[in-house]
Amino acid sequence: MSTARTSRVIARTLVTITVLIATAIAALMLVPSLLGFDRYVITGGSMSGTFERGTVVYERQVPIADLEVGDIITYVPPQDSGIHEPVTHRILSISDDPAVEGGRVLRTKGDANASADPWTFTLASAVQPRVEGWIPGIGWIFIVLAMPGIRMLAIGVPAAIIAALFLRDLVGGLRR
């Protein structure tokens, strides 16, 4: 096999592998949405032992009345907690309080935390995302792709390779 032919085979193989990886990532992002799931990447360690940083959890919206002790939910803690980012913790207790709008007061705890979260809260919506499943480690792809420079490389390098291969084929065709 000639060197030029070997180079073409290697280049086409690399392009095929890149396309397959991009398709797999796109499927991980899009298919769950089509099936009614929300995707959330775990970036903290409070649920270690159940799932670690870099895990992708898939959640489904369920009526608040369907939530049970032991369910894992993602929510934004009360404003006075000082935490403004969503957390994914296990429901430790649910109590009914007719004086509270919605009637259900929840307390949560991260599985890796020694104690329960210091706040109780109610959910403002009639539905709440509940974790239905997860894939360990795959979330690092989303974490890395969230970095602008990496995202540009992830898009730009394959595009440049495809453009270079197209240009090579075009020039080769014109020479003939």
Average pLDDT, the chain: 89
Reported as a single tens digit per residue, the pLDDT across 70-87 is: 999 999 999 888 899 999
Nearest CA to 165 out of 25, 24, 2, 16 is that of 16
Residue 96 has pLDDT above 70, yes or no: yes
Q: pLDDT band at residue 100, thresholds of 50, 70 and 90? A: low
- In sequence order, what are the beta bridge partners of 105? 95
Q: Which of 13-41 are b and which e, b meaning 16 or more Cβ less than 10 Å from the residue's Cβ? A: eeeeeeeeeeeeeeebeeebeeeebbbbb
Residue 135 has pLDDT above 80, yes or no: yes
Nearest CA to 133 out of 58, 71, 64 is that of 58
The domain made up of 37-140 has a fold known as: Umud Fragment, subunit A (2.10.109)
**Which two tokens mark 119?**
């706040």
**Which two tokens mark 102?**
């919605």
pTM to 2 decimal places:
0.73
- Provide the 3-class DSSP secondary structure of residue 131: strand
